[in-house]
Structure 1
Amino acid sequence: MINLYSDTQTLPSVGMRKAIESAEVGDEHSRSDPTTLSLEKKVAELLGKEEAVFLPSGTMCNLVGVAINTSPGDVVILENSGHILRSETGGPAIVSNVLTDPIEGQRGQFTVSQIKEKLDQTSRYRPPTTLICLEQTHNFAGGTVWPLELWNDVCSFAKSESLRVHVDGARLLNAVVASGIDAKTWAMEADTIWIDFSKGLGAPMGACIAGSAEIIDQAWLWKHRLGGAMRQSGLMAAAASYALDKNVERLKDDHERAKRLADALKDFGSEVVVPDTNIVFFDMKPCGKDNEDVVRGLLEKGVRMSEIGTQIRAVTHLDINDDDITSTITALDQVVNG
């Protein structure tokens, strides 16, 4: 099976499995797991933050990030197709009792002027906006990378208005590789920011959220409150650390393969969102084909993609090679042209 469903479909490599097997472990709960401590220090340094904490999932990072940056009744601004809003089962509303005020962005991005429109405080009865959530790269916009100037404008404005900034950085390192801009620069103005290890980096699970020492101290409370306390977490931390050491620079290969696939889809007459990184969204209706039928036809030929809304999504990752892309293009040709 050529699995382009998501970059979460990766399997641990032989080298990663050896790292897991040889990991030195202790009790994470009492801060005596050396491999987990090492990973947290590595991530904090990578993002230019004082501290970081290892959590079981990216969704928990978002739950914790919203919780420690807001109070009940606050308003969170985010882009209207953001992962927090669309794919986390209403977690912030349930856990933090906050409201969300989405902005209709372009390519998953929005401007200072759009934020200003949301900050009308002419009525004392209007709930306060306290947090802006950014997503880098932006999944449902097509793995898009924010332009640095726009990113800095939004973050600077947030600070000028005493708003906190939380960054869903599940695929931040894809943005780093695609833009050539280091992680510290993207993280500089964020109060909280996290990276995921189970997507393009190829680890089985886990993410780290980073911020000031004071903020991460609060994150620990929420980690336990949400059931995120672990014991011998060094086994998974070893996989994450291996991923950071071995699987970052190679993300450029995923980006190149996504572009190759996108170019082929254009040749078929598909409407394609030009990929910045490793995610390709496309619509086959301009080819006279139903997207659901195309996804089903590809699966019958051993290629797995997903239908999301009115588009199909294909995601390249470390388990997809050049031959897989060639085979996928061949399968598409057979499905489209019969």
Structure 2
Amino acid sequence: MNINLISDTVTKPTPAMLQAMMAAEVGDDVFGEDPTVNALQSKAATLFGKEAGLFCPSGTMTNQIAIKCHTQPLDEVICDHYSHVYQYEAGGYAFNSGAAINLIAGTNGKITAGQIEVAIKPVHDWLPLSRLVVLENTANKGGGSIYTLAEMRAISKLCRKRGLRLHLDGARIFNALVETGEHPADVGALFDSVSICLSKGLGAPVGSLLLGDAAFIKMARRFRKVMGGGMRQAGYLAAAGIYALDHHVERLKEDNVRAKILGETLESLPWVESVRPVQSNIVIFDLQFPLAAASFLEKLETKGIHASPFGPQTVRFVTHLDFTQEMLERTVEVLKTF
């Protein structure tokens, strides 16, 4: 048995999803003429209460387009120091937008309205202009932590009061929503733009969506093109996204439950120093010295289990569509006998 806990990006389309992809009606999306892409964009926008959507190859692209649309050179982006836009997008905020970054040391990847208010810079010639706040929900490097609606509402209120734009990196937003029971439109109403990923726990092979008002998405289409994201008969991929939104959202709860079981198991083991609070489908834990992540992962691989190093003594597990109950039981068995 091969068990892959490296990421939820390793998921493969189900047979039913593949069937939906092969049956898709397609056209040229650069001309706005792919009916399946148009249907996906409309579906996602409606779900989050936005006017329009844009289908892109990746979540990095949707985040980078959002930053480009919301900022000008010499502006700054405020975010948590664990944020994906800072940690894992190759410094794109600087390369693509000429923007600076203002990092906040939040708690498990989450920042508060109070922290943001303190971080907003006064207007001086020698300082970048605080322009955009980015929240990541769930927060990957924070252990899959979840912002509550009340927490996001407070941040949204502050941003509107201070004239800042607010973007949601919602790569795993549905993992949060199946836990909180909140509606996507209630979240969407708080943000100027929203990015959602289809190729993680939702199981599509490719794609993310950027959502916002009509004027924002019109501008975003131009930036998608200049970044090389214009696709032609992309409806085959969009069909997978439609299928995922129709069939794979509620089952994310299973992934979250399995992650919590892994977290509880790890907390009981003597060679584990600590486990981040498990709120969704990500488990991050620290090993007791002198056990190192590299040697630990090598031993796991001999048992057919693959995971990611997240530091010299830190490991990440991510549960997903292709991580079954049988795989969970096998993983727990291996961990208990490690």
Structure 2 length as normaliser, TM-score? 0.97
Q: Report the residue type matching 2:285 in the other structure.
A: F
- Alignment match, 1:289: 291
Report the Cα distance in structure 2 between the residues aligned to 1:30 and 1:112, rounded to whole angstroms.
41
Aligned ranges for residues 101-120 of structure 1 at < 5 Å? Answer: 101-120=102-121
- Alignment match, 2:41: 40
Task: Establish whether residue 319 from structure 1 lines up as the match of residue 322 from structure 2.
Answer: yes
How far is 1:332 from its partner?
1.8
How far is 1:213 from its partner?
0.3
Q: Report the residue type matching 1:313 in the other structure.
A: R
Report Cα offsets for 1:157-194 as digits up to 9, x if no partner. 00100100011010011111011111111111211101
Report Cα offsets for 1:242-292 as digits up to 9, x if no partner. 000010000000011001111111111321112110000011216x53222
Secondary structure of the 2:209 match is strand
Is the Cα–Cα contact under 8 Å of residues 272 and 281 in structure 1 kept in the other structure? Answer: yes
Which stretch shifts more, 305-314 or 10-19?
A: 305-314
Secondary structure of the 2:107 match is coil
Secondary structure of the 1:231 match is coil
Is the Cα–Cα contact under 8 Å of residues 168 and 195 in structure 1 kept in the other structure? Answer: yes
Aligned ranges for residues 146-165 of structure 1 at < 5 Å? Answer: 146-165=147-166
Aligned ranges for residues 222-233 of structure 1 at < 5 Å? Answer: 222-233=223-234
Q: Which runs of 5+ in 2 are unaligned?
A: none
Report the Cα distance in structure 2 between the residues aligned to 1:131 and 1:120, rounded to whole angstroms.
12
Report the Cα distance in structure 2 between the residues aligned to 1:242 and 1:103, rounded to whole angstroms.
37
Q: Report the residue type matching 1:91 in the other structure.
A: G
Q: Report the residue type matching 1:47 in the other structure.
A: F
Aligned ranges for residues 254-293 of structure 1 at < 5 Å? Answer: 254-269=255-270, 270=272, 271-285=274-288, 289-293=291-295
Aligned ranges for residues 126-205 of structure 1 at < 5 Å? Answer: 126-205=127-206
Report the Cα distance in structure 2 between the residues aligned to 1:122 and 1:73, rounded to whole angstroms.
12
Report Cα offsets for 1:105-146 as digits up to 9, x if no partner. 002111222112222316342221100001011100011101
Q: Report the residue type matching 1:220 in the other structure.
A: R
Is the Cα–Cα contact under 8 Å of residues 168 and 193 in structure 2 kept in the other structure? Answer: yes
Is the Cα–Cα contact under 8 Å of residues 285 and 291 in structure 1 kept in the other structure? Answer: no
Secondary structure of the 1:23 match is coil
- Alignment match, 1:26: 27
Q: Report the residue type matching 1:20 in the other structure.
A: M
Secondary structure of the 1:220 match is helix
Report the Cα distance in structure 2 between the residues aligned to 1:123 and 1:43, rounded to whole angstroms.
40
Q: Report the residue type matching 1:205 in the other structure.
A: V
- Alignment match, 1:307: 309
Report Cα offsets for 1:275-322 as digits up to 9, x if no partner. 110000011216x53222111100111000000124100000010111
- Alignment match, 2:81: 80
Q: Report the residue type matching 2:111 in the other structure.
A: F
Task: Establish whether residue 207 from structure 1 lines up as the match of residue 229 from structure 2.
Answer: no
Report the Cα distance in structure 1 between the residues aligned to 2:51 and 2:124, rounded to whole angstroms.
38
Cα RMSD after superposing both structures: 1.1
Report the Cα distance in structure 2 between the residues aligned to 1:103 and 1:62, rounded to whole angstroms.
18
Is the Cα–Cα contact under 8 Å of residues 136 and 171 in structure 1 kept in the other structure? Answer: yes
Partner of residue 334 from structure 1, selected from 314, 331, 337: 337
Quick one: percent identity of the two aligned structures? 38
Report the Cα distance in structure 1 between the residues aligned to 2:298 and 2:107, rounded to whole angstroms.
30
Secondary structure of the 1:217 match is helix
Secondary structure of the 2:337 match is helix
Is the Cα–Cα contact under 8 Å of residues 55 and 206 in structure 1 kept in the other structure? Answer: yes
Secondary structure of the 1:195 match is strand
Secondary structure of the 2:133 match is strand
Report the Cα distance in structure 2 between the residues aligned to 1:62 and 1:307, rounded to whole angstroms.
25
Structure 1 length as normaliser, TM-score? 0.97
Is the Cα–Cα contact under 8 Å of residues 6 and 307 in structure 2 kept in the other structure? Answer: yes
